[in-house]
Structure 1
Amino acid sequence: MTVALMWEARAVPGRGGELLAWARARSLGGTPLRREHFRAPQDRVLVVTWWDAPYDAELPELPDPEADLVTRPVHRWRFESVGE
C-alpha cells in the first residue's frame, strides 16, 4: 500500500521562502518513495511524502517549525492511494 503524508504550514508574511528552505533542509529520519515541496499564495508551504507502508504505520514526519516562522499550527493529513 502507498501512504501519502501531507504537511502544510503558513509562514509569517514575507517569510514563505524561508519556510520553504527550512522544510527542504529537514531530514525525515527515513527515505520516502517520493518527496515533493510546493508553495502557494499567502506564504504557504506544502510537503507531500509517499511511503510504501500500511495506512496506520508509524512514519517519520516533518516537525513543527519555530513558532516565530509560522502564523498558525502546522496541518497534517494522511491519505492512502486508491490507484489510477
Structure 2
Amino acid sequence: MTVALMWEARAAMGRGEELLAWVRDQPLVPEPLRRETFRAPEDRVLVITWWDAPYDAGIPELPEPASELVTRPVHRWRFESVAEV
C-alpha cells in the first residue's frame, strides 16, 4: 500500500524563504519513496511524502517549526492510494 503524508504551514510575514529553507533541511529517516516540496502565495509551504507502508504505520513526519517562523500550527493529512477505475 502507498501512503502519502501532507504537511502544510504558513510562514510568518516575510519569512517564507526561511520556512522553505528550514523544511528542506529536515531529514526523514528512513527516507520516503518520494518527497516533494511546494510553495504558494501567502508564504505557504507544502511537503508531500510517499511511503510503502500500511495506513496506520508509524511513519516519520516533519516536526513543527519554531513558533516564530509560522502563523499557526502545521496542518497534517494522511492519505492512502486507491485503485484507478
SS at match of 2:45: strand
Partner Cα distance (1:35, 1:81) in 2: 16
User: 1:24-70, CA deviations, whole angstroms, 9 ceiling, x for partnerless residues?
Assistant: 10001211000000000000000000000000000000000000000
Q: Any idea what SS the aligned residue of 1:42 has? A: coil
Could you tell me which amino acid in structure 1 is paired with residue 13 of structure 2? Answer: P
Aligned residues: 84
Give the SS at the match of 1:62. coil
Return the offset for 1:83: 3.5
Task: Give 1:50's aligned residue.
Answer: 50
Which position in structure 1 is the counterpart of 2:18?
A: 18
**Worse-matched range after superposition: 68-77 or 23-32:** 23-32
| Cα distance in structure 2, aligned partners of 1:7 and 1:17 | 17
- SS of 1:21's equivalent in the other structure is helix
Q: Secondary structure at the match of 1:27?
A: coil
Structure 1 CA distance for aligned equivalents of residues 81 and 24 of structure 2: 24
* Distance across 2 between alignment mates of 1:69 and 1:12: 5
Unaligned 5+ runs, structure 1: none
Distance 1:58 1:3 in 2: 11
TM-score (ref. length: structure 2): 0.96
TM-score normalised per structure 1: 0.97
Indicate the percent of aligned positions where both proteins have the same amino acid. Answer: 76
Structure 2 unaligned blocks of 5 or more: none
